[in-house]
Amino acid sequence: MPGNFEQVTAQLTALVRAKTGDSRARAHSLESLPGHAGFSYSFILERIAPDAAPAGKFVVRIAPPGVKISGPADIVRQARVMASLADTPVAVPPIIWYGDEPEFFDRPYFVAGFVDGFKLGESALPAAHLKRLARQGIATMAALHNVPWEPRRAAWGEPFALSEELKRLDYLLDRPTLDPAVVARAPELRERLRSSLPAGARIGCVHGDFQWSNVLFNEERVVALIDWEISLVGATLLDLGWICFFSDPGSWVGVDPGQGSLLNADEIVDAYAEVAGFPVSAAEVRWFRAFAGYRFGVITCFNLMLHRRGKRHDPLWEATALSAPRMFERGLELLG
């Protein structure tokens, strides 16, 4: 199992020797990294020759054992998605190797360059500086949405319809084991969303989980978008609605989900519209903001049920669930 540091270090050393052809290369200084869709570590790749490449600090992500390799667990797809953006204005970690050869980890994996950066909520920079950086983050999101998706469909797949995303959430919501007090007005919001589904929404590359914790900065700019587990080709305003949801105190109870972004939802929409290069409909933005609250609220209901039934221990969902009824109410408010 990839939780054993000594084992993973040995496996990494075998990998880098095979990939570089350098029998004296070695991996060391393994450190765990956060993440829910696999095992992630940083490590040092040491080469004997002083000018040998690649060398330095890298990240390896390994698919979790015992799960189907699809969706968030499809590590190789994530690597291909990031690699497909290497020649674009969208900053991503450089992908070095990826594959599913059983002789290394017995699970799919990728190795990427380590990107040294910080998240807005962790920085002590002045507020005005952080606000400028946040606007750069929104500009990076718009740049992603302007990347031509058709030439990248081999990595990204075919477009995913909004109606299909609603159906996928039905699978989570339509369960008798959910807490009805937390579900609250979710069914009502679902019907409102379904009856007002935007027609002809603009299609493009979508990160899928664009929130401030997945954007790394240095003091001047965005240095990487990370965590591409649920990226897709779909309605680009999915990303805008998602980051607005996490920056809207009106969707939450007793917490500040903005994580130091310093931009409220309206400011985010304005910043996006300034650089998008295509019309941004206020009515569509409201729909996608409402959908984001519905989506996260349903995910919260489902994960709370798993936690309470002992299937996936994560007490954080108890705290998040306090806001779930408000998420659904806020969605109905946004729809008018």
- Tens place of pLDDT for every residue, the chain, 336 residues? 445 889 999 999 999 999 999 999 999 999 998 765 568 999 999 998 878 889 899 999 999 888 888 888 899 999 999 999 999 999 999 999 999 999 999 999 999 999 999 999 899 999 999 999 999 999 999 999 999 999 999 999 999 999 999 999 999 999 999 999 999 999 999 999 999 999 989 999 999 999 999 999 999 999 999 999 999 999 999 999 999 999 999 999 987 665 556 899 999 999 999 999 999 999 999 999 999 999 999 999 999 999 999 999 999 999 999 999 999 999 999 999
**What is the separation of C-alpha 328 from the centre of its chain, rounded to a whole number of angstroms?**
22
Going along the chain from its start, the domains and CATH numbers come out as 5-113 (3.30.200.20), 120-335 (3.90.1200.10)
* H or E element, residue 233: strand 232-235
State both tokens at 23. 């029998």
Runs of H (alpha helix) within the chain: 5-20, 75-84, 127-146, 153-156, 162-173, 180-183, 186-195, 237-245, 265-276, 282-308, 316-321, 324-335
Give the distance between the most distant pair of CA atoms in the chain: 65
Name residue 87's amino acid: D
95 - beta bridge partners? 112
Name residue 314's amino acid: D
